[in-house]
Chains A and B, each alone.
Chain A
Amino acid sequence: MSSPTSTPGRKRGRDGNPATREFCSTIPKMFLPNEVDMSSPLMYGTPSSRVEGTPRSSVRGTPARQRPDLGSVRKAPQVDLHSEPPSADGAVASEPNAGQRLVIWGTDVNVGTCKEKFQRFLQRFIDPTATEDENAGLDLNEPLYMQKLEEISVVGDPVLNVNCLQVQSFDAELYRQLICYPQEVIPTFDMAVNELFFERFPDSILEYQIQVRPYNALKTRNMRSLNPEDIDQLITISGMVIRTSQLIPEMQEAFFQCQVCAYSTRVEVDRGRIAEPAVCRHCNNTHSLALVHNRSAFSDKQMIKIQESPEDMPAGQTPHTTIVYAHNDLVDKVQPGDRINITGIYRAVPMRVSPIQSNVKSVYKTHIDAIHFRKTDEKRLHGLDEDAEQKLFTEDRVQTLKELAAKPDVYERLSSALAPSIYEHEDIKKGILLQLFGGTRKDFSQTGRGNFRAEVNILLCGDPGTSKSQLLQYVFNLVPRGQYTSGKGSSAVGLTAYVMKDPETRQLVLQTGALVLSDNGICCIDEFDKMSDSTRSVLHEVMEQQTLSIAKAGIICQLNARTAVLAAANPVESQWNPKKTTIENIQLPHTLLSRFDLIFLMLDPQDEAYDRRLAHHLVSLYYQSEEQIEEEFLDMAVLRDYIAYARTYINPRLSEEASQALIEAYVDMRKIGSGRGMVSAYPRQLESLIRLAEAHAKVRFSEKVETIDVEEAKRLHREALKQSATDPRTGFVDISILTTGMSATARKRKEEVAQALKKLIQAKGKTPAMKYQQLLDDLRGQSETAITKELFDEALRSLADEDYLTVTGKTVRLLA
């Protein structure tokens, strides 16, 4: 290709992204219908010939903005498809020849046809699959993009985002051209859209001409699959921003002034180079022109590095990175840490040929010129993520999943696929399965209640060595947004968020901890009992309100932490003491315990048949063929997809019968206790039941919560309660063990002892101070039942609460 300056006539008039302003302002003339045939070579006028034209449209009044995102203007002429490509000049193309199809050099794009097609798309496209929430305020039965144009005329933001998927469904050929020749097709789109816009809204005033930004090109989704064939094509990839550079001013147009006669001229930058004029055209002096920086035109540019999202990576490899250039208003749109979908043109630039060296490195540098950014995590705040869904599931996959869901025993199937290396514990696995699906998110903020927790929290307690940690590890590996921490090593800071000084920018940066990171996922906390009190206290807020408040270093904020908590706790004594209640065994505050929907005990069942099955399971674990292991891996992938699908698509609502069943279940639960003067259920338990029932409906891919869901929720809840809230003294299930930390019988007993103690003290007469040990011995002496030291302490405490006495060290003093 020869240099642009030598053959100005070959400049493509259709170009919407010319680098000079004079040039842009002359564009409208070729928009005029009937004046010249669009495909006619006449449109390649010289700059002088283009100045005239009917001063009709306001396109002309609106300056075009450069589009460095499409690369520097490639000076490709249009050529006749049937003739040989021109060797050096555009002579062939300029020959008017009726009946021949003119295309842009190197492509099969005919500007006129392409423009027409796109205009037809804009005018006619109605999205059949559109949903209300995505296009708020738009009429779904009217052409989508015409409404968007109207929006532009009102708002004045001259950017039209076009979903490539919609282009594809409307005109597959146009879509193919867009993907293959974005550099040529997008400017054509720009032209088409501006023409249409100013025709329809002739009086609109825009800052500059409308630019089309296509997104959602299905060409490539994964950075790993980029290959040389994608060069110069429109691609969409997802990734995470890891670094952004400072703003780089990039020269678009150089301004030269003659030092002798002050004649000035502008030279457009072509692929990073400026052809410095050697001779002044005015005074014919050689080498008299000097570059004037502050009259040259610059555009903003930023280098962004993105890295493959961890989910897209094959195991055992390191993530790939790609360089992205953002231009103009896309600069500073993204921050390190953002997860984005980026649409742009993939470029490969040969290493610069240096005049000193004869041979060069045979490597190309690759980057992407960004055209469109879409933050994926930002949308997470608003709920649905349509792009992510499309990425996750192919139609085949959805079909497989739906077939699986239709099976009557899907619930059992899934629960047995969960952590197959862990033996039995069916109910615990079922509970965790429901936790993985979660309930339906409801918003009651209008009625003042705020968000209603949809996540199911589960606590596993039990003897050490009953594979609790293994279960946690499994869950952590299964879910995409899982976090695994150990109560032993983690501090409150590691769980919540901390403020860090960025070493580079010296800026304060909020670094999020495990709980925030597992937003919309599961936070697995091992050794829950080893956690310090201060750390545990942050969990109170997270586990009910699902938010995290931070006030540190002048940063005050509330972060979302809609995470399900799966915790494992060991008994305080090395072995679980069946004579004690759950609270006594694990010594956790009941305020925290009541926030768990399900509390399971993982105990050694000690029964011969079980032992045999367990032994068989373990031995086969240690001797199993490779294929069987392979098979399981497949299962894990299916399970993962199944859960992801259900979580994104299925939002079950309570049916009439189900709500009735829930009410009955709750009333029943209340009744059990009331016979013995105990409360055995609180509203929190009802909420748990609802969540579990919803999760079970999700497992069935059902949009409705039905009675069977409630039945299973009830059963599971009862099973868990049976394990964790049975009063060891009476053998009855007593929810107050979990809600108040003490069973009703224990409370009654405490009250009795306190009264006995009070009597004893009163019997002693007027002794203002007593020895602690003496008092205990006396009480033991007169009581028929054994009085433990703990019981005695509690009695003392309750008397102290009555302001009857105080305990200081080893002395008990009467008050008043």
Chain B
Amino acid sequence: MTTTACFIIVSRNDIPIYEAEVGSAAKREDAAQLPQFILQAALDIVQDLAWTTSAMFLKAIDKFNDLVVSVYVTADRTRFMLLLDSRSDDGIKSFFQEVHELYIKSLLNPLYLPGSRITS
């Protein structure tokens, strides 16, 4: 089983500002954009869930077949979405926290316009 992971940062305007995809070996042509589709579709659920809880980490909120979507919502409603085919909440949570830190660092960059694409 190939482990694939797709990570996307979605700005508050539902614009993806960072995309990364790892470990996808030999993708089929028809499933090329599947992770993007799944993550985008999960936005609906995030929208519902984000207001029901005060926690930033929303755990696994959606799943498609064996792929699980985990979401972390920052204070400015930027969403980190991770698509994984294995579930380990603790690992994902620490990953999200790390990403959050990095994201804040990039926000602090005076040349970065919030909501624009992150390029590195």
A and B found bound together? no
